[in-house]
Structure formats: C-alpha cells, structure tokens
Structure 1
Amino acid sequence: MEIIILLLVAVIVVLAVGDIRRSLITRPFFKVFKRILPPMSTTEREAMQAGDVWWDAELFSGRPDWETLHKVPVPTFSKEEQHFIDNQLETLMGMLDDFDIVQERHDLPEEVWNYIRKEKFFAMIIGKEYGGLEFSAAANSHIVSRIATRSISAAVTVMVPNSLGPGELLTEYGTKEQKDRWLPTLADGTDIPCFALTGPEAGSDAGAIPDSGVICKGKHEGKEVVGIRLNWDKRYITLAPVATVLGLAFKLYDPDQLIGDKKELGITCALIPTSHDGVETGERHFPLNQAFMNGTTRGKDVFIPLDWIIGGVDYAGKGWRMLVECLSAGRGISLPAVAAATGHLSQRMTGAYAYVRQQFGLPIGKFEGVQEAMGFIGGQNYIIESMRRLTVAALCEGKSPSVVTAMTKYHMTEMGRDVMDAAMDVHAGKGIQLGPKNYLGHGYMGVPVSITVEGANILTRNLMIFGQGATRCHPYVLKEMDAAANPDEEEGLREFDSLLVKHVGFAAGNFFMSLLMGLTGARFNKSPVSGPTARYYQQLSRVSRNLALVADMSMLSLGGDLKRKEMISARLGDVLSHLYMASAVLKRYEDDGRQAADLPYVQYAIEHHLHKCGEAFRGVFTNFPNRFIAWTMRLVTYPFGIHFHKASDDVLQAISDSMMVAGVARDRHTFLCYWKDDANDATGHMEKAFLAMLEHEDLYKSLRKAEKRGDIAPDLHGDALADAALEAKLIDKKTADALRETEALRMGAIAVDSFKGDALSKGEFDVVDAVRPPAPAKKPAAKASAAKKPAASSSAASSSATKKPAAKKPAAKKTASKSATTKKSTDD
C-alpha cells in the first residue's frame, strides 16, 4: 500500500508542478508534436485562419449545447426585401422562359438583361450609400433559389455579382476612392463585373496559378508611374464575355523592391476595366447546355497602376486571404441556393406528376417502387432546405464560418444531384425529352456545374471539411500549432504546456464518456425537448462525443500522415457534416412549431444522418492503418456494434403520400418552386392538372369502379371517357364538361414536346405537340386552335418575345447576334 501511495504522490507531483511536468513530459512531447505536425503552405495557413467557427465547433467539441442552437434567430426579411420579393422578383420570374433562353437564344433576352440591371439584381450585396440594395443573406439566398427553379442560366447570372467578385471584394477591402469609383456603377448596372481566378493550370487552388504581375515602371495616361505588368490566361469565368470590369487574381513579384523589401509578395487581386489596352474578353464556353455567360480572358504585358490593386498597395500579396474569406460566405449562399431550387422543384413537380400519371387505373405514386424514390426526394429536400436555413442564419448573424459553408456547398449540391436523379427516374420519358414542357432537363444537365465550381466537391470533401475543421473547430489544436510555430521556443513550450494539460483532460473526458454512452446506448444523455425527437438529441450528442475522441486519436496516431490519408479524413468530415445537417433538421422542426405533418420528414432525415455517421465510423475503423488503435476506438465508441438503420418503408410511404396532397404542408416544403396558373406555363401545366384531378378525385374513383363493373369500357381517356360516362348516365352534362377540361389538362401534363422533322437541324424550334390549355366542351374548334399555339410562353408579359414565327435564323447565327446585342447593351 505504501508503494502505491508513493507512486500516486509521484505522479501528482509530476503533473502538478509546472517545471517538472514541462521537463519530463511536455518538452519530449513538444518535440514529437513539432516533428509530426503536417507541413502547411502559406495558402493553406491563410485558408485555415480565414473565416469563423460557429455551431461546427460545438459539434466538434463533443459537448454540443442544443439550447444555444435553438436560440439562433430564424432568418427573416425586411419590409424592403419582402416588397422586392413580392414584386420585382415575381416580375422577373414571369419573364423567364428557360427553353427559349437555352435552346433558342443561348442567352438571356435583352429585356431580361435590362430588367435585371434596372432593378439592381446585381447589387443585392452593395451598400445603400452606393445605390445598392444591401440585402441580407436570407433575401439573397431566397431570390437566387427561386430564380433557379425557373432558369439556372438566369440564376447564375444574378448570383455571380452577389457572390465572389468585385462587388464583395470592394465592399470588404476597397479603398474609399475605389468604392466611390466602382460601386455606384456596379449598383445601377452600368458596369457588369466578373472575377477571374481559375485557369488552365489551376482550379480552386490559387497557390498554383501561373498568372503573374511584376512591379515595374511604365506609362499610364501619358505619365511614367510605378505599376504592374500583368500576364494572365483565365477560363471558366462567369460573365467574362459581357463584363465591363474584371477582377483578377495573380501572383505579384517585386524583383527591384520598388514598394518594399520582399521580392515575392504573393497572390494579389486587382480591378481592371475590360476596355483597358491589352485586356481580352468575349469568347464563350458552353457549360453543359446552359446559357449563362461564361468564357475566357487573357492579357499579355498589360500595364496597370498600383492603385488598381483592390485595397490599394497595402493589400498587395493579401489576395488569397481576401478570396477565402469572401468565398466562405459565397459558398453558403450561391450554389446551395441552386441545390435548394432543385429540391423544391423536384418535390413539388414529382408529387404532382406521380398523381397525374396513371398506370393500371392508379396514380403511379401509389406503387411502392415509385414511393421509395418519392420518399427519398421529399426527405432529402427537407434536409436541403433545413441546411440552407441554418447556414443563412449564421451569415445573417455576421458570421463567416468557413467549415460550415464548405459543408453546405458540398452536401447540398451532392444531395441536389441525387434528388434530381430520383426525379428523373420517376418522370422517365417526361424528363428526357427536351422542350418547353420539360422543367427538369436543363437542371439535370446543370447539376455538374454546381458540383464543380467554387471548389470541386472531391477537393472539398477530402481536404477541406475535416482538414480545416479538425484544426479550426478543435478547442486546442490550432493553438497548439501556433505555439509550436513560435520562434521563441521557450515561450512556445510554456504555451504548449498549458494547452497540453487542458487537451489531455479533454481527451480523457471524451474517452470515458464515449465508453459510458456506448454501454448505456446514450439513454442518460440530456435532451432539450421531450416527445418523438428527444431520442435523436441523445444519439447525436453521443456521435458528437465519439467524433471528438476518434479525431483526437487519429491526429495523435497519424500526425502529418492524416493529411495524406484523404479517405480517412473525408469519412471523419462526413461525420461532422451529418451532425451539422441533423442539427439543422431538428432546429427547423422546432422553429416551425413541431408540425405533425413534418414528423415523417424529420424521422427520415435524422435516421439517414445517423446511418451515414455509422457508415463513416465503420469505414474509419476498417481502414485505419494502426489496427490496435482502430480496435480501441471501435470498442470504446460502439462496444456492441454500430446499429443505426435507415428510415423504414412506412416513413418513405408517408412522405410519398404527403407529396400528392395539396395544402399548407406541401406549400411549406416547396415554397421556392415557381409556377403560374397557366396551362401553357412550364410548371403551371403540371400543377393545374394535379389540382384539377385532386378536385375530381371522387369522380375518378367512381369511374374506376364503373370500369370494373363493366358500365363503361376500360382504358378510356379524354373526351371519350366523358362521353362514355355521360352516355351511361353516370354523370350529368356539367360534370362531363368538367371532366373534359380535367382530362385535357391531364393529357397535356403527361405529354412531351415534339418538333417538325427538320426543325432541330435548322435550329428552329416550332413545337408540334404543345401544351394545350383546356377548351370548353361547347367549343371544340377553340381547342383545335389552341393546339397550334407554340408552348414557349411562360407569361402574358413575355409572350411577344418568346412566341416566334417558325422561320428563324439558324441557332449558331442567332447566338452570335444575341451575344453582340447583349455586349452592346452592357457597354452602353
């Protein structure tokens, strides 16, 4: 006993007495830590330090405070924003005909360009003092999302000036002179901006760009000044073909040290008028059958003055930090908005189509195979919208959480892709035949654009989410890294020692609590709510604690090798991401007042996320190189195995059924989807057919029973069905007329467009089988006349622009003409 007491006293003395602890424990570990510390480039360090941490840090800590999450304010619109949404936005929506934009014009109509500029859609992030709208992130996200349900080409055109670009960079970093010069003309649409970062040799990694600028003397406006001689070759630049002002990222060098003592200054951003000598723009790419302006820009030996650097000379070499901080906000709005549009559109239209399209006398949405796909669409859309709201809430609070926005961009665009695939599966032939009636086709082709830009998704998942999250969100790791990098080794050692003591206590707490939760199934964890979601909070708290432990053990075991073990780090990032998405779902459920109709969606979502967390942990344990540590992690976190399961068939069927019921719940889940009460409208034709059939649901049921009894012939539709029912005296004349109108809508909704035999080769899109508005039964001639009308119109306001005569220019010539027109309008 005396020996044990002496050993305990010795351990306490070693741990409690700072000098002894630092000498015997901390100093050796400090040396090991510095050796295993992963090498970090300048751009990586700047990216690591950019932005904020937010709810992601709570999740990574292993101790998420759910009450803190519930207190995050729900994003709302100001009166000005709501007025703009109700008026200018709705007017724009009515002007957009995506088939005309993409297939016929390969450009937005000139009247749309002019309206966007006049109503300041390009100036949502510019301050009011410069003539901008100064809208919140909530309004920005809503507006872009709603436009994207109508036209991705139009949405991208609007989103880019309000995301990473000159407007945001000038607002955040510009000098007073730069703001006064550019922001008013950007706000009123006189100038159209673009920002050039990516090139043939570099994508999202700005550290790899070969584009360069050399500080030297040269002539500007007839005077010799110190400036920059630039050479660049950029591609994939949205709005470049029509831009009047070019934001440019390049590496800046000062070989003669004209502005300081450094010869290599680093990545720098400058603002250059496209009319400046040597600037080349105008060429277009063709991004997967989308019509937004995207192209190249080049410059050879272009000389600009130093004061064209965004932020002035003081910001020379600080461009990467500027870009990362601005990009983190843009990632949380722009591309997630497109994904949200995909979810809302797919859920609303798939639900309608699955009810309108019938097989064997039943809506196809009643068949279990289709219900599985529909349940997936509805459940995933609930997650997408929940994630959009929570991330926007952070941005509205003034936060710029880089890890959160990276997770949002990656997972929402991936979920958008999966939802679109499922919607296409249900629509089948309706989805693959392009024409004015196809509301999915262009979105389906545009999905890879969102996957690729603002950081390719593979890069984001494998390198950014956990690579940055493990360092930024961990309570101690970044501080320990800074201590290890301290040039004063003794001072760094003292800092590291203090952090190490706390880190050890943190890790020990996670170890024992993970084991306890594993043994008890987390049933003693606290939950901020009671009822059907209480158990979900308990399980998510357990997963959070497990992530904190496994991440610590992985970093300690693998050190710098973890950076190269991308599959391992990606799986840990997946756990963090699914925790965040599950949090968003639970918060939305609370914010919306725990709607009973939403419970199947919540059940689907949380069980989906827990299952994905379990799969990710299983992948880490199976593939972890140190088998003893892998076994230890698995035994402590999940001693009885990982038993998270996907949502049941009943849950999927409940979601599917709700998608085929008109009402408040359906509207709440798909409020971003635009449709017009017009049988010629791209989405309106489906919505009208759906609502009409629901209105006559009992009538269709009675007719199906009559078919089974043999009172009327089977497989009748349209006028034949109405005539047969009337002749059999199953319905009266008024009901027969209503049935004819409903059947006309139904047949128009399930039809697809067709064209004259040689129309497509000539670039002429004269629709033969158009959407037919229902004609009154008394006027069959009017119905025949309606069949001849082209279906390209989405509103009365745009009908004169979109309903063209059959004789047109070939598409290639027309594209060139339109581009020239647009370029002229933007230059005027």
Structure 2
Amino acid sequence: MNLELTADQKAFREECRHFAQTALQPYANDYDKQGAIPRELIGQLAAQGYLGVTIPAEYGGRGMDQVSYGILNEAIGRACSSTRSLITVHSSLTAETILRWGTKEQKDKWLPLLAQGTKLAAFGLSEPGAGSDTSNIQTAYQKQADGFLLNGVKKWITFAQIADLYVIVARGANGITAFLVERNTPGLRIQPLDGILGTRASLLAEIHLTDCLIPAENVLGREGWGLQQIVNTALDNGRYSVACGSLGIARACLEDSIQYTRNRNLFGSLLKDHQLTKQKITNMVTEVKAASLLCLNAGYLRDKKDPDSIIQTTLAKYYASRIANTIASDAVQLHGAMGCHDSLSIQRYFRDAKVMEIIEGSTEIQQILIADHSVASLSSIL
C-alpha cells in the first residue's frame, strides 16, 4: 500500500479544506443552534459536485475514487458533522447503493438528479423498535396487482425532513425488501424530530407510511434480499463516510486544543507547557494519526474492490468514532469552562462525537463483527 496521496488527491484535499474553512466552519455553530443547514449551503455543495463525488461522470457525478471521498468526508466532518451527515445518507447510503444494485432505469432516472443535488435522498432503515436489530423491522409490504402496499414508521431518519427520495426497508411474505419511495407518494407523512444530542442540524424525522402504493419497478435489488444486498451495502458505505467524518472531528479537537493551549496562561505559564497538557496532546496526535491510517487503508482497499475492505472499513469506523469521543472529551477538559460554552465549537464536537459511536452500526455491533471476523480469519484484519 502506498501511503502517499496522488497529486490529484492532494489538490482535492486542499479544495475540500478551503471550502470547509470558508463556506462552512464559520457558520456551523449557528446551524447547530438553528437545528438546520440552509438550502443555500446544499446548493453550494451541489455546485462543488460534493453530492456526487463517487458517482460516475456518465450520470453527472465527479467519478472520484474512495480515498478522495474519504478526504471530502474528513474535511466536511472537521467543520460540521451535520453537513457531513447529508453527504453520508445522500451519497453513501442511497446514491452509491442505487449505483450498485439499481436497475438501468433506476440509475438513469435517479443518479443524475442525486449527483447534481436536484433531488436529495435519505435512507429509511431504523424504526422505533428496530435500530441495531434490523431483524426486528416491522414496516410491512404487501404485494398487489399494481405494485406493493407499504405500512409502517421509520424513525431517526437523517435529512428526512427535506429529502425527495427515500429508500424504505420493509418486511413481507418473501422477506425483507428495499423500495425507492418518492416524497409525494400518497400516504407518506413526514414528522420532524428535534432534541437530538448531536448533529442537530441534520433535519431528522419520522417517516409514516399508510397504504403507500409503490410500483413494482421501484423495488431496489431483489425482492427478499433487502438485508443481504441493500442494507449491507449501504451500511458498509456509510461506515466509511462516518469513519472519515469522525477523523475530522478528532482533528478539529486536536487543532483547536493546540491553538488554545498556546495562548492560555495558567499558574504563570502557558497551558501548552504543563506536563499533563503535553500528555493529552501526545495522545491526541497519536490517535488521530492511527485513525487516519485506518481510514486511508479502508479507502485504498475499497478502491481495489478487495473483499477485506468490508472488515477494514468496520475497523476504521470502530476506532475513529471511539477516538473522536476520547479526544473531544480531552479537548473540553483542556478548554475548561470555555469548552462547555456554545461560543466555541468544542462543545459541538463533543456532542457530535457521541453520535458517531451510534450511527451506521453502534460501537458494540462493530465489536461483535470485528471479534467474530478475527476468530474466523485474523490474517485478513492484521
């Protein structure tokens, strides 16, 4: 594996960081307080091609590699995790899954719209009684002569408040199946959710489906293969995005902490010169570097379409989300009272980091997957 980024990847990194620093970071705390990112920002993301980075050029995307996609998620996650959440659900969970499993007609219809940001997408998996336990999905579908009838409730669906297209996972006589459901479908109702701990601007909602008639051509993948094809693909894509976004949070906490300790006087000397501060900074740097290498490794293997990329992506998500929490906690501690006040971003990073350990498979689910895989084939991880 070559750890050196290509010239194009380095240039893209500078582009993404510049965008995040100028168009996003100065306003991210306001978005957090308001509980929404503005449509103008989504338009800027679309104009940059960030909503279709990995979608092939033939569908209007930028057709970039997975390492570059990780670079984008780290940069956006460094500035605003809510905005990174849009990229995750719109691109990773939905667009890339349609690219992998959609019919030619589905790809031709939806991928240009998603790549250009003309339409926004969300992924409807979680329910009031089904989060990590996807086998407990209660949303149901019944086959009809003219399609499928969907009934049920999806909860905690990121950007469902403004999405135009939803992937809805439901259970029926032939097993769990995924459907492409448009926002204007009769019987579909969106109920906004607030009060979330972190990623407060990610426009969460419940999706209520009451006798929603979905045409047969809107089945995504094979009927009855919703978990094996759609959910597993989407979560694998999403974990990579979240891993890199978690790395962005960790890097933000590290950089902000170094800047703060350079200027804060404590007991007659700068905070950076205190031994315990040096210990915290050292741990932060080491953990950010390790997470960076795990994310880069996952992206490299994903570009090669290596079968081991799935477990390596899981490993990257597990580690990066955990160290984001550790580093965010230390950053709050180093900032003292200022770290607890919403005039600085540190408290937002702290709250957002905790969400990273829950979404796209909780830390505990990752532990089960990694341990089971290690017992079966340790060499594929190490």
Scaled by the length of structure 1, the TM-score of the pair is 0.44
Report if aligned partners of 1:212, 1:231 keep a CA contact under 8 Å in 2.
yes
1:438-494 deviations in whole A, cap 9, x for unaligned?
131111111121111111112221x221124423x26xxxxxxxxxxxxxxxxxxxx
Q: What amino acid is aligned across from residue 455 of structure 1 in structure 2? A: G
Asked if residue 434 in structure 1 is aligned to residue 329 in structure 2, the reply is: no
Correspondent of 2:31 among 95, 101, 105:
101
Asked if residue 267 in structure 1 is aligned to residue 176 in structure 2, the reply is: yes
Correspondent of 1:235 among 137, 150, 155:
155
Q: Give distance in 2, aligned partners of 1:168 and 1:232.
A: 25
Q: Give distance in 2, aligned partners of 1:452 and 1:300.
A: 29
Structure 2 counterpart of 1:196: 124
Q: Give distance in 1, aligned partners of 2:235 and 2:256.
A: 32
Q: 1:467 to 1:341 in 2, by over 3 A?
A: same
Q: Give distance in 1, aligned partners of 2:195 and 2:244.
A: 22
Structure 1 residue 120, shift from structure 2 partner = 2.5
Q: Give distance in 1, aligned partners of 2:315 and 2:224.
A: 28
Report if aligned partners of 2:242, 2:317 keep a CA contact under 8 Å in 1.
yes
Report if aligned partners of 1:241, 1:283 keep a CA contact under 8 Å in 2.
yes
Q: Give distance in 2, aligned partners of 1:207 and 1:78.
A: 45
Q: Give distance in 2, aligned partners of 1:390 and 1:159.
A: 19
Asked if residue 328 in structure 1 is aligned to residue 248 in structure 2, the reply is: no
- 1:22-421 alignment runs, 5 A limit: 72-74=1-3, 76-77=5-6, 79=8, 84-87=12-15, 90-96=18-24, 97-103=27-33, 105-165=34-94, 167-217=95-145, 225=146, 227-253=147-173, 265-289=174-198, 290-311=200-221, 315-322=222-229, 323-331=231-239, 333-400=240-307, 401-421=309-329
Structure 1 residue 376, shift from structure 2 partner = 1.6
Correspondent of 2:361 among 430, 440, 455:
455
Structure 1 residue 336, shift from structure 2 partner = 1.0
Gaps of 5+ in 1: 1-71, 218-224, 254-264, 475-543, 545-575, 581-828
Q: Give distance in 2, aligned partners of 1:381 and 1:117.
A: 29
Report if aligned partners of 2:35, 2:203 keep a CA contact under 8 Å in 1.
no
Q: Give distance in 2, aligned partners of 1:135 and 1:286.
A: 36
Q: Give distance in 2, aligned partners of 1:383 and 1:86.
A: 21
SS at match of 2:357: helix
Gaps of 5+ in 2: none
Q: What amino acid is aligned across from residue 213 of structure 2 in structure 1? A: F
Q: What amino acid is aligned across from residue 350 of structure 1 in structure 2? A: S
Q: Give distance in 1, aligned partners of 2:310 and 2:71.
A: 21
SS at match of 1:299: strand
Relative to total residues, which structure has the larger strand share, 1 or 2? 2
Q: What amino acid is aligned across from residue 240 of structure 1 in structure 2? A: A
Q: 1:89 to 1:358 in 2, by over 3 A?
A: closer
Q: 1:341 to 1:299 in 2, by over 3 A?
A: same
Structure 1 residue 177, shift from structure 2 partner = 0.9
Report if aligned partners of 2:66, 2:303 keep a CA contact under 8 Å in 1.
yes
SS at match of 1:287: coil
Q: What amino acid is aligned across from residue 419 of structure 1 in structure 2? A: I
- 1:454-533 alignment runs, 5 A limit: 454-461=360-367, 463-471=368-376, 473=377
Q: 1:193 to 1:178 in 2, by over 3 A?
A: same
1:132-190 deviations in whole A, cap 9, x for unaligned?
1122111111111111221112221222212122x112100111111111111111111
Q: What amino acid is aligned across from residue 111 of structure 1 in structure 2? A: E
Report if aligned partners of 1:252, 1:316 keep a CA contact under 8 Å in 2.
no
Larger radius of gyration: 1
SS at match of 1:164: helix
Structure 1 residue 109, shift from structure 2 partner = 2.7
- 1:627-666 alignment runs, 5 A limit: none
- 1:719-738 alignment runs, 5 A limit: none
Runs of 4 or more consecutive aligned structure 1 residues displaced over 6 Å after TM superposition:
none
SS at match of 1:107: coil
Q: What amino acid is aligned across from residue 467 of structure 1 in structure 2? A: D
Structure 2 counterpart of 1:572: none
Structure 1 residue 252, shift from structure 2 partner = 2.3
Report if aligned partners of 2:122, 2:160 keep a CA contact under 8 Å in 1.
yes
Give the alignment's Cα RMSD to 1 decimal: 2.1
Structure 1 residue 432, shift from structure 2 partner = 1.1
Report if aligned partners of 1:125, 1:168 keep a CA contact under 8 Å in 2.
yes
1:589-635 deviations in whole A, cap 9, x for unaligned?
xxxxxxxxxxxxxxxxxxxxxxxxxxxxxxxxxxxxxxxxxxxxxxx
Q: What amino acid is aligned across from residue 233 of structure 1 in structure 2? A: V
Q: Give distance in 2, aligned partners of 1:287 and 1:336.
A: 20
Q: What amino acid is aligned across from residue 330 of structure 1 in structure 2? A: G
Report if aligned partners of 2:235, 2:361 keep a CA contact under 8 Å in 1.
no
Q: Give distance in 2, aligned partners of 1:271 and 1:334.
A: 22
Q: How many residues align?
A: 377
Q: Give distance in 1, aligned partners of 2:66 and 2:334.
A: 34
Structure 1 residue 75, shift from structure 2 partner = 6.2
Report if aligned partners of 1:75, 1:393 keep a CA contact under 8 Å in 2.
no
Q: What amino acid is aligned across from residue 143 of structure 1 in structure 2? A: L
Q: Give distance in 2, aligned partners of 1:273 and 1:361.
A: 62
1:36-82 deviations in whole A, cap 9, x for unaligned?
xxxxxxxxxxxxxxxxxxxxxxxxxxxxxxxxxxxx23363574x65
SS at match of 1:302: strand
Q: Give distance in 2, aligned partners of 1:319 and 1:182.
A: 19
Q: 1:91 to 1:347 in 2, by over 3 A?
A: closer
Report if aligned partners of 2:120, 2:163 keep a CA contact under 8 Å in 1.
yes
Q: Give distance in 1, aligned partners of 2:356 and 2:234.
A: 18
Report if aligned partners of 1:233, 1:298 keep a CA contact under 8 Å in 2.
yes
Q: What amino acid is aligned across from residue 102 of structure 2 in structure 1? A: G
Q: 1:78 to 1:232 in 2, by over 3 A?
A: farther
Scaled by the length of structure 2, the TM-score of the pair is 0.92
Report if aligned partners of 2:16, 2:75 keep a CA contact under 8 Å in 1.
no
Q: Give distance in 2, aligned partners of 1:91 and 1:407.
A: 29
Q: 1:399 to 1:287 in 2, by over 3 A?
A: farther
Q: Give distance in 2, aligned partners of 1:371 and 1:87.
A: 32
Q: Give distance in 2, aligned partners of 1:75 and 1:180.
A: 36
Q: Give distance in 2, aligned partners of 1:338 and 1:131.
A: 24
Q: 1:307 to 1:205 in 2, by over 3 A?
A: same
Structure 2 counterpart of 1:780: none
Q: Give distance in 1, aligned partners of 2:57 and 2:374.
A: 35
Q: 1:73 to 1:306 in 2, by over 3 A?
A: same
